[in-house]
Chain A
Amino acid sequence: MTTVVTEDVHGWATSSPLVELHDVVKHFPAGSGKTVHSVDGVDLAVRQGEVLGLVGESGCGKSTLARTILRAVAASSGHIIFDGRNITSAKGRELKALRRSMQFVFQDPYGAFDPKMSLGTSLEAPLRHHGMKDRSERRERMLAMLDRVGLEEAILERRPSECSGGQLQRMVIARALLLKPRFLICDEPTSALDASIRAQILNLLVELKEQLDLTLVLISHDLRVVRYLCDRVAVMYLGKIVEVAPRDELFTNPRHPYTRVLLAATLSEESTADDMVLRLKGEPPSPIDIPSGCRFHPRCPMAQDVCSVKIPLVSEAGPDHTVNCHFWDEVPPPPASAHLLPTSAPAPA
């Protein structure tokens, strides 16, 4: 059994993007003429076959960005390219076909199924919807998928309340993969689960990704999960991507002060009381009133005068490493967060 990274790390330079975002914006009206800037100009590429981590605090727009990519909501402006086609304004038949190639795994497995339906009925729904008319064919497809995610046939007769969180999360994954998508976005797939079940679900995702040749976006605020699963990581703050880098590079050499703060705030079994020093004041500002200049400046420990005036443009901080910060080359190395350094997965050559 190979690990997540091996092949993908070396394939990066040549592999073409499966999903490309060009200046994608999603605004919502907030009443009294105000606007919520949930996603505020995102440029990002998801490469064929990779696992891209998307991290950031609640309210930074991660989930809205995911929903915009999947066309669950329409982008306010910008372009979304999937497999070379502009899907920003796809509709009708084209959109329905698209839904088969792109799927979503939700955060809360307990709320993902209709509590009054058997899980079998819920699982069958996407197959019916996408025109698989033959009953035995549907059954066959479902059983094959259950086998892949490690569930017994008997679970189809049960209702969600009769299952554990781990079983339900496997069902959520089974349902997402039933239509054989190429692209999967997992939104906090393990945050509702305890450590042992979390490990099982992560193992399953890795296995399925390899077997089914999936491209994955993993949204999480648990950097330990991101460290384990992702090839590259994009850090989002208040509607913008502020740093993108290969996993090892991001964890050992963060160039954005916000990334550094996130790393410092993640606790692990090796953390002690001394590690719990407050490194970030306050909470993210409202996406209705975006701060001027660099949007992180009111909370930034390194902010200077220019930061409140001038929006930082993207800088190349290294190979395949981009950052939006005026002072990216002055950001100190990460604090002693050895627990976040990759330990067992092979480092890129």
Chain B
Amino acid sequence: MTEMTLQGPPGRARGMDGPLLDIRGLRVDFPDIEGTPAIDGMDLTVGRGEIVALVGESGSGKSLTALTVMGLLPPGAEVVGGDVMLEDEDLLSVSPKRRNEIRGNKVAMLFQQPKVMLDPTARVGGQVTESLRQHRKVGRREAKTRAEQLLRDVGIPEPKRRASSFAYQLSGGMAQRVMIAAALSADPELVIADEPTTALDVTVQAQILQLLKQKRDDLGLTILLITHDLGIVSTMADRVAVMYAGRIVEDGATRDIFDDPQHPYTQALLRASLLEAERGQLYSIPGSITQARLLDQGCRFLPRCPVSVALGIQQLCGSAEPRLSTCGNHEHHSRCYASRDYAEAG
């Protein structure tokens, strides 16, 4: 774990110029489940005003990372190492009281199924301002006016009427707008959006993504976007971090990741998502991510890696895990012996 901490990407110095969110060497385990920890030496920095996309297959640990930052670990999960710094506070060691102050106020989260996340028995207006009333001691009358304003800001027509609707009366797109309004109500600095548009139509998806991006531009919001849809990543993100089996295997500027992917897993993900046929067969990544949890040494991707076989370096790959090392430019890192400049990089 200490090694991971030292080997993190060369983050900017802490303080106001430093990253807003800085995850170092994070390890989260389910002690009852056999195998390596679900998050196992994760490093991720998110700078102020950035949109960073966290991508990877189901089971790679993306959502668990988000829940750890939010302090909403599922039952059975346990943080066993690392730091999660939000500015200069370690979110893993703050008191429950402080944690509640941070949640909603500084960090908010958007979920995949907005209609499930809204309380079916309460009018949406009240839900939008819940965290505002909690954190800012705003009175009922003012909260009502604020709710309408917030709903208007996220593009909901007739906000006054909508504020008194129930969740079942909203379409999926409307419900996600309501969730965005609620998330932004107490002016958080960081929004974690976990597959925010997966359940929505393409037309509505474009509208919601546009809205998020506009909020970033207007309010200087920082967004950690979790998705497995690389099309969304390509349009939204400034930087991309690729996660596999509980750790980052590649990160860099969005264009570098798409145009010049260095890690075989990133290359495979891109190929699989292109939906282009070769001799009538679509490419899919061989094997399964579950194989990775049984490995306790070497590269986690080795059992599925075509590059290692092609280069005949399986022995090296199986003996020790490669470092997350610089390739191409100083913002682009890859955790693979076959990545460019691996030997030279420190």
Residues of A within 8 A of B (CB): 1-4, 57-59, 164-165, 191, 194-200, 202-203, 206, 221-225, 227-228, 261-262, 265-273, 275-276, 278-280, 282-283, 343-345
Contact = CB atoms under 8 A, between A and B. Distances in A.
B269 A195 contact: yes
A272 B255 CA distance: 9
Contacts of A58: 171-172, 200-201
Contacts of B157: 282
A269 B230 contact: yes
Contacts of A2: 280
A49 B26 CA distance: 53
B174 A283 contact: yes
A196 B272 contact: yes
A300 B173 CA distance: 19
B277 A269 contact: no
8 contacts: A195-B273, A196-B268, A202-B282, A225-B275, A267-B206, A269-B231, A280-B203, A344-B277
B187 interface: no
Contact of A197 (B274, B275, B281, B284): B284
Nearest to B274: A269
Nearest to B269: A195
A58 B209 CA distance: 18
B96 to A, nearest CB: 32
Contact of A271 (B231, B268, B273): B231
Given A267-B234, A269-B234, A228 B282 contact: yes
A1 B282 CA distance: 11
A266 B277 contact: no
Given A194-B58, A228-B277, A199 B203 contact: no
B232 to A, nearest CB: 6
Interface in B197-231: 198, 200-207, 209-210, 213, 228-231
Contact of B235 (A206, A224, A275): A275
A228 B272 CA distance: 13
A203 B172 contact: no
A267 B235 contact: yes
B282 A203 contact: yes
Contacts of B279: 1
B344 interface: no
Contact of B231 (A1, A196, A266, A343): A266
Contact of B284 (A196, A266, A268, A279): A196
Nearest to B238: A273
A265 B272 contact: no
A228 B269 CA distance: 18
B234 A270 contact: yes
A344 B235 contact: no
Closest 5 CB pairs of A and B: A267-B231, A199-B284, A195-B273, A199-B282, A3-B280
